[in-house]
């Protein structure tokens, strides 16, 4: 939910003078953490779009170029290169969906293309991956290679203008520690961006856990791990308050509460596009509030916050430490939103924290 402050009196972020450069700078670390090459990102954002409205098309062109690279590599029998190119395509296509595009139908098409590209990538890079879909969710189950016993599993929940293609670094870090990972899109996210976000997202995660519980190749007897990022951090905390099968939970840059009138224009506009109307967006934001709920979280809880992540209208999830008895807060002073500029300072230790608590 990367955002910027609103200074001029305008009705849309597309009217803010110089907002493209501001948006590109504000999302640079996020895109790099997603897996985009920094130099290529800089070239595309400086030489590609002239306005924020042109961002989706510029990023889509790069993604489609990588699809063609993947197809050429596949035709020559270079399977690893093909998989890597398709994965890069998926990442660029996902990043094309960052702005609240005026034509939401275009966002839907591109998000589906990112999902399809990642499906092709997994065919070469991780052929044992399993697609799992249910009411309100679709995602990929990945398991550590050569696990002697069914592994414990961590569920990864993305945020507002996010999706499962964004957090491969998180997935890979967990896999290297012997944990299975289910990274998914829920309502209003990724391949399901044609549906509206839901403030009762915990019900979706419960259905995810139902699906994982039914698998003999996973060990869910002691519960599952759950990590949520950005708005997904709120979703993770909300789920932990309602779902006893959450054995340990991590919230990264998540909100404790949203205050609609104070939110930056970018966040309000993104919510409006994703929910379908200003009224629906405001109603959704009103329900993003852990007051009276957080004290029900009994599972071990870590909140990861960046000291530079300050967004008007967002009370950070670190506030949950006042309510939840098992909560601990990891604050990285120089971290930005999602701590994309400080991944080494939180990701390895947090994955170890989850591994220790899942046993």
Which tokens go with 204? Answer: 């979706």
Q: What is the pLDDT of residue 8?
A: 43
What CATH code is assigned to 16-126? 1.20.1440.110
DSSP states of 39-96 as a string? HHHHHHHHHS-SSGGGHHHHHHHHHHHHHHHHHHHHHTT-HHHHHHHHHHHHHHHHHT
Q: Are 52 and 19 within 8 A, CB to CB?
A: yes
**pLDDT tens figures, 217-274:** 999 999 999 999 999 999 999 999 999 999 999 999 999 999 999 999 999 999 999 9
In whole angstroms, give the CA distance from residue 339 to residue 171.
Answer: 16
What are residue 190's DSSP bridge partners? Answer: none
**pLDDT tens figures, 284-342:** 999 999 999 999 999 999 999 999 999 999 999 999 988 987 799 999 999 999 999 99
Same fold flag, 16-126 and 128-359: no
In whole angstroms, give the CA distance from residue 288 to residue 286.
Answer: 6
Give the residue extent of every domain in the chain.
Answer: 16-126, 128-359
**pLDDT tens figures, 33-74:** 999 999 999 999 998 888 899 999 999 999 999 999 999 999
Task: Give the distance from CA 136 to its chain's centroid.
Answer: 16
How many Cβ atoms from other residues are within 10 Å of residue 146's Cβ?
5
Closest CA to 124 of 75, 179, 174: 75
Domain 128-359, second-level architecture: 3-Layer(aba) Sandwich (3.40)
CA distances in angstroms from 152 to 69, 169, 194, 349, listed in the order given: 36, 19, 32, 18
């Amino acid at each position: 939910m990367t955002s910027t402050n609103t200074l001029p009196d305008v009705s849309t972020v597309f009217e803010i003078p110089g907002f493209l450069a501001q948006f590109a700078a504000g999302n640079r670390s996020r895109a790099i953490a997603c897996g985009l090459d920094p130099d290529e990102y800089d070239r595309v954002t400086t030489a590609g779009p002239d306005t924020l409205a042109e961002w989706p098309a510029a990023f889509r062109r790069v993604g489609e170029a990588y699809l063609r690279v993947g197809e050429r590599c596949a035709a020559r029998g270079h399977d690893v290169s093909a998989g890597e190119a398709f994965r890069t395509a998926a990442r660029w296509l996902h990043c094309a969906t960052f702005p609240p595009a005026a034509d939401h139908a275009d966002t839907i098409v591109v998000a589906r293309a990112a999902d399809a590209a990642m499906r092709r990538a997994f065919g070469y890079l991780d052929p044992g991956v399993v697609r799992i879909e249910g009411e309100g969710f679709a995602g990929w189950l990945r398991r550590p290679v050569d696990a002697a016993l069914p592994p414990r599993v961590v569920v990864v929940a993305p945020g507002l203008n996010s999706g499962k293609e964004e957090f491969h670094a998180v997935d890979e870090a967990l896999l290297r520690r012997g944990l299975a990972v289910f990274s998914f899109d829920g309502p209003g996210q990724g391949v399901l961006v044609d549906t509206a976000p839901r403030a009762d997202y915990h019900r979706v995660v419960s259905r995810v856990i139902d699906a994982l519980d039914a698998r003999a190749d996973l060990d869910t007897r002691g519960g599952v791990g759950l990590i949520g990022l950005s708005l997904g951090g709120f979703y993770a905390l909300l789920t932990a308050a309602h779902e006893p099968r959450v054995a340990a939970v991590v919230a990264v840059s998540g909100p404790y509460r949203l205050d609609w009138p104070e939110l930056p224009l970018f966040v309000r506009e993104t919510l409006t596009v994703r929910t379908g109307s200003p009224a629906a967006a405001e109603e959704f934001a009103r329900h993003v509030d852990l007051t009276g709920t957080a004290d029900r979280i009994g599972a071990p809880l870590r909140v990861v916050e960046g000291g530079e992540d300050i967004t008007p209208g967002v009370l950070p999830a670190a506030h949950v430490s006042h309510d939840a008895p098992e909560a601990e807060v990891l604050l990285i002073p120089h971290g930005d939103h999602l701590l994309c500029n400080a991944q080494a300072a939180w990701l390895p230790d947090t994955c170890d924290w989850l591994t220790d608590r899942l046993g």
